[in-house]
Amino acid sequence: MNNERIMKVLLGPHITEKAAIVGDSGNQYVFKVATDATKPEIKSAVEKLFEVEVDAVRVTNMKGKTKRTNQGMGRRKDWKKAYVRVKAGQVIDFGGSE
């Protein structure tokens, strides 16, 4: 996989209370990923960008919510979320500070 595709697969970390609980208990991290990304692409992107060994990847498709606006009913985009489990003892640092 080329470097351009690696940068387009991971869109960013998904930081919520549920993601924090999963991260503390299972050494997992949650990412927003491209809707056309596959598990092998996500695995290689995380390994190359964060220099860790990925143990497993789980993917869920999240449906966009329907919202009411002044112009009528609107709908948010569908998106994809990936739960990435890294090997024991390895950490991904999103802050970048020491």
Domain ranges of the chain: 3-86
- Contact between 34 and 18 under an 8 Å Cβ cutoff? The reply is no
Give the 3-state secondary structure of residue 74.
strand
Instruction: Name the nearest CA neighbour of 38 among 4, 98, 93, 80.
Output: 80
Task: Give pLDDT tens digits for 34-52.
Answer: 999 999 999 999 999 999 9
| pLDDT digit string, tens, across residues 58-74 | 999 999 999 998 999 99
Record: fold of 3-86: Alpha-Beta Plaits (3.30.70)
Contact residues for 28 (Cβ-Cβ < 8 A; gap 6+) = 22, 83, 84, 85, 86
| Bridge partners, 80 (sequence order) | 33, 61
**pLDDT confidence tier of residue 1, bands split at 50, 70 and 90:** confident
